[in-house]
A and B are shown apart, each in its own frame.
Chain A
Amino acid sequence: MTDIISTRVADVSGDEAMDGKAPLRRGYWSAVARDGRRLGKWFVAPTVILLLFIVVFPLAMQLYLSFTWWTPLDGVRWYRAFESFNAGDNYARLAVDSALWSAIWRTLVIMVFAVPAQFLLGLGLAYLFVDQFPGRKFFYSVLLTPMMIVPAVVGLMFFLVFQGTGPFNHTFGLPASFTWLTDVHRAMLSVIIADTWQWTPLMFLILLSGMLAVPPDQLLAARLLGGSSWQNFRKIILPRMKPVIAIALVLRSVECFKIFDLNFVMTKGGPGVETETVSLYLYKKTFADLDWAYVGAIGLVILFVLSAIAASGLAFASKKAKG
């Protein structure tokens, strides 16, 4: 059998072997298929169109509207909004809108308590999971489930749990009249508890992966040099986790700032405006007051600030991660 190959090739030198091929299919699409860059452009087209049409264009429209008093009620088409042009009054109003600033303050309060709590709980849990132990995979899956549940359903769960006649009061021996969701101070606390319950697993996940990202050989070398597991954690694992910690905190803070589902389902921002966060305030302004131009202005400012924080935080982290 082997000689078929050798005789076939021996007399047919490399070049003549070429003409045995089928003629190339000429045509626009087969040309595109052959040229990397043109194929790349066609691949990118759908995304660019979507981004252009649904992200860039709307942002431009929002900027344009934010300089007018336009609302959907006045029966004027949006592109004629320049008739009510107001040269930045919306932005001026934004600066002095006490309702907005108190909403921002309440959102920051949630962040200041929820994010550190989630970080510390997540770090503790991650440290427990660094070494292998029987049942690790099972417990790992159980502890991850909260973050996979639909936030609105988590809101419902804690809505039920924090009812006067709910299990929480019962477990801690509090009277049924002890109110959570309708109490001025405890409403905010219950939202923080719900948020922590749902998102601590995310911190646990990211921090654990940071701990496990330490090359196993280096950890082993540290042990062989006589380091105890606590010494190795403090001197080898923790210092290498700076980028991971940065990612975790940035991600969680930005997401937390946008909190809407939990407090909308649990307390609808109540009692009064005690748990009204920025998102809720914007939602109310949009649907109750139909003050769209003003909401557009606030939206742009928030978008700019949030993206800046997120981009710089992640850039810092991935640069460090590569270092």
Chain B
Amino acid sequence: MSSITLNRVTKRFDQFTALENLSLDILEGEFVALLGPSGCGKTTTMNMIAGLDEPSEGGIYFDGESLSGIPLQDRNIGFVFQNYAIFTHLSVYKNLAYGLEVRRLPKSEIERRVRAMADRMDLGKDLDRPATSLSVNELQKLAIGRSAVVEPRVFLLDEPLSSLDAGFRAYMRAELKVLQQEFGQTMIYVTHDQIEAMSLADKIAVIDKGRLMQYGSPLAVYDDPANRFVANFVGSPRINLVDGELRDEAGRRSLVLNGGGMIPLSGGVDADFARGAAVHGGSIGIRPQDIYFGDRRADDDIRLTGTVESLERVGPRRLAYIRMQEARFLAVDDRDELSVREEVAFHLVANKCMAFNLKTGERLRANS
């Protein structure tokens, strides 16, 4: 397998820019997820790596050598489609063997490698059955096996789990992770599901409207989002984001929310906003689990009051929607102590609050 480098790759379809100077360094054997909403350019990126499309500018390199001009079939890329693209007129064996047959390998070697792969994906008993008789889950494994058997330099997966049912999807996530470690393949995984990206990838590249928002490990992207988009897109349940005007009355800074209500700033978040002096439109992001009820735990935590709008209590998800004028906070209430329409006081953990410049979406940090 090989490492992949994208150097300022740009793609324009007449006047629409699908991708704008994207640079990524993917190490050999690394599992990278391209994460973003539909239409953000992640699939375009994958198509260019596979050779289905040529970049308008910039270059793509496997182990340092440029791919431009190398036709699709000579790039030796494993590609798993969202709908698996299994050869419906062929048997399971013929599907697995296709990549080897076109390379005109000796029959015995094809037989050996196909059987080994079939056993690895526990499709050993179905080899002679027509591919269409397989279940969705088996089709998924056949698609991966078919690409893996030719030992490609790079593996590209286009939202492979999206058509599976929830139960099997969780199982398949674990299976894919183990497969990747076992093969030691360099893998790029395109998805719009951030849970899948966080659970599978060594590194996540968050993309929006064709631009790279952030590239880092799952927990780095979760704990330390580079901008407002990443904070909003990654993490389930969703982060709370409240926007407003920054006001500084005699050294006491606060965020006056657009729809009314005011959040006094203190602790870490106050320091973050202080650094960005010129900023007046601000936005605060706080994860539901960083909001708590009852009495204050740390002196610089921010105390607010609001009314409980609705509750969601299913299994581990114990959530409460709190309304404060126009702003709405989603908070974790794992002690089930709240009831709807109850006036309640709650605290935001100050140094877990994230400060953003509302206009540019940039993250404001005191230290950086």
Direct contact of A and B (CB under 8 A): yes
With A220-B52, A221-B79 already in contact, the answer to whether A226 and B102 are too (CB < 8 A) is yes
Complex interface: chain B residues within 8 A of A226 (CB):
73-74, 76, 99, 102-103, 150
- The size bracket of the interface on A is 10 to 19
Query: Which one of B5-13, B29-37, B84-92, B262-270 contacts A?
Result: B84-92
With A217-B81, A218-B88 as contacts: A227 and B72 at CB distance below 8 Å: no
A227 to B99, CA, bound (A): 7
B85 touches A221 (CB 8 A): yes
B147 within 8 A of A: yes
Q: Are A223 and B81 in contact (CB under 8 A)?
A: no
Given A221-B81, A235-B98, A228 and B87 touching (CB < 8 A)? no
Whether B257 sits at the interface, judged by CB under 8 Å, is no
Please give, as numbers and ranges, the residues of chain B lying within 8 Å of A222 by CB-CB distance: 87, 98, 102
Q: Mark A225-263, 1 if CB is under 8 A from B, else 0.
A: 111100100011001100000000000000000000000
Which residues, 135 to 194 on A, are CB-close (under 8 Å) to B?
none
B102 touches A227 (CB 8 A): yes
Cα distance, A226 to B74, chains bound together (Å): 6
A238 nearest CB across to chain B (Å): 10
Asked whether A236 lies within 8 Å of B73 as measured between CB atoms, the reply is no
> Which residues from chain A contact B99 at a C-beta distance below 8 Å?
225-226
A225 to B81, CA, bound (A): 13
Asked whether A236 lies within 8 Å of B87 as measured between CB atoms, the reply is: yes
Contacts of B42 on A, CB cut-off 8 Å? none
**A223 close to B73 (CB less than 8 A):** yes
- Between A225, A227, A228, A231, the greatest number of chain B beta carbons within 10 A of the residue's beta carbon is seen for A225
A323 to chain B, nearest CB (A): 9
B61-89: which have CB < 8 Å to A?
72-74, 76-79, 81, 83, 85-89
**A215 in the interface, Cβ–Cβ < 8 Å?**
yes
* Contact between chains at A228 and B79 (CB < 8 Å): no
For B83, give the chain A residue with the smallest CB separation: A217
Whether the pair A231, B102 counts as a contact (CB closer than 8 A) is yes
Q: How far does the alpha carbon of A240 sit from the alpha carbon of B132 in the complex, in Å?
A: 14
Chain B nearest Cβ from A62, distance in angstroms: 44
A217 to B96, CA, bound (A): 16
CB of A224 closer than 8 Å to a CB of B: yes
Cross-chain contact A228 with B85 (CB below 8 angstroms):
no
Interface residues as binary, A181-216 with B (CB distance below 8 Å gives 1, 0 otherwise): 000000000000000000000000000000000010
Shortest distance in angstroms between A11's beta carbon and chain B's nearest beta carbon?
22
- The answer to whether B73 and A228 have CB atoms under 8 Å apart is yes
Q: Say which residue of B52, B73, B81, B89 sits within 8 Å of A227 (CB atoms).
A: B73
Which residues of the other chain, B, contact A218 by a CB distance below 8 angstroms? 85-88
B114: Cβ under 8 A from any A Cβ: no
* Contacts between the two chains (Cβ within 8 Å), count: 57
- Which of chain A's residues have a CB closer than 8 A to the CB of B78? 224
- Inter-chain CA distance A227–B95, complex, in Å, is 13
Which one, B72, B87, B89, B103, contacts A223 given CB within 8 A?
A: B72
Q: Does B228 touch A at the CB level, under 8 Å?
A: no
Q: Contact: B98 with A225, CB < 8 Å?
A: yes
With both beta carbons as reference points, the residue of chain B lying nearest to A218 in the complex is identified as: B85
Q: Which of B85, B88, B101, B150 neighbours the largest number of chain A CB atoms within 10 Å of its CB? A: B85
Residues of B within 8 Å of A224, CB to CB, are 50, 72-73, 77-79, 147
* Min CB gap B136→A, angstroms: 16
B146 adjacent to chain A (CB < 8 Å): yes
Provide the residues of chain A in CB contact with B102, threshold 8 Å: 222, 225-228, 231, 235
| CB-nearest residue of chain B to A222 | B98
For A81-105 the 0/1 string (1 means CB < 8 A from B) is 0000000000000000000000000
Closest chain A residue, CB of each to CB of B82: A217
Type the 1/0 row for B199-217, where 1 means its CB is closer than 8 Å to any CB of A. Answer: 0000000000000000000
| Alpha-carbon distance between A226 and B100 when the two chains are bound, in angstroms | 9
Could you say which residues of chain A place their CB within 8 Å of the CB of B150?
225-226
CA of A222 to CA of B103 in the docked complex: distance in angstroms? 12
A143 to nearest B CB, angstroms? 29
Across the interface, which residues of B come within 8 angstroms of A221, CB to CB?
Answer: 79, 81, 85, 87, 146
Min CB gap A273→B, angstroms: 48
C-alpha spacing A228/B77, complex, angstroms: 15
Interface-centre pick from A217, A218, A226, A231 (highest chain B CB count, 10 A): A226
CB-CB < 8 A to B89: which residues of A? 236, 239-240
A-B pairs with beta carbons under 8 Å apart, 9 shown: A218-B86, A220-B79, A221-B79, A222-B87, A222-B98, A225-B102, A226-B76, A226-B102, A227-B102
Given contacts A217-B85, A220-B79, A227-B98, list 17 more A-B pairs with CB under 8 A: A217-B83, A218-B87, A220-B85, A221-B87, A222-B102, A223-B72, A224-B73, A225-B98, A225-B102, A225-B147, A225-B150, A226-B99, A226-B102, A235-B98, A235-B101, A236-B87, A239-B89
Query: Residues of A with Cβ closer than 8 Å to B?
Result: 215, 217-218, 220-228, 231, 235-236, 239-240
B residues with CB within 8 A of A: 50, 52, 72-74, 76-79, 81, 83, 85-89, 98-99, 101-103, 146-147, 150
